[in-house]
């Protein structure tokens, strides 16, 4: 499954704002965290929601995940959510959780049919 990331993200002013809020090496830290969050949400079918309990999965040795997430909120890339954080505009560019599940099921079914010799290509 693929997640979508805008190639303009590298130079986007919001990434500069988040990087400034983090401090030293902040832009690279913010970018890595943001991309990891998008990939995690896509893989888990979370529709852009990152529960606060999973933030530690994105731990760095430099800055706490909560500090990075809060910097992304300041920049407008994340929003506070009742469960933790929401990636701003996630659903505008990535599949919903339901679409991801349906597409994965379709791929599994197609592969199963191919293996049995009855399948479509």
* pTM to 2 decimal places: 0.76
Q: What is the pLDDT of residue 119?
A: 55
pLDDT in tens, the chain (121 residues): 678 888 899 899 999 999 999 998 999 999 999 999 999 998 888 889 999 999 888 887 778 899 999 999 999 999 999 999 999 998 888 877 788 788 888 888 988 888 887 655 5
Beta bridge partners of 87: 78
Name the residue ranges covered by the structural domains of the chain: 7-95
């Amino acid at each position: 499954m693929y997640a979508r990331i805008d190639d303009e993200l590298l130079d986007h002013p919001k990434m500069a704002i988040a990087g400034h809020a983090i401090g030293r090496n902040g832009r690279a830290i913010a970018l890595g965290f943001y991309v990891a969050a998008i990939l995690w949400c896509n893989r888990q079918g979370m529709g852009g929601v990152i529960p606060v309990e999973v933030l530690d999965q994105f731990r760095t040795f430099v800055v706490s995940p909560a500090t990075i997430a809060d910097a992304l909120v300041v920049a407008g890339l994340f929003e506070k959510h009742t469960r933790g954080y929401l990636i701003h505009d996630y659903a505008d560019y990535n599949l919903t959780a339901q679409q991801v599940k349906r597409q994965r099921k379709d791929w599994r079914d197609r592969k199963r049919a191919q293996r049995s010799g009855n399948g479509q290509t």
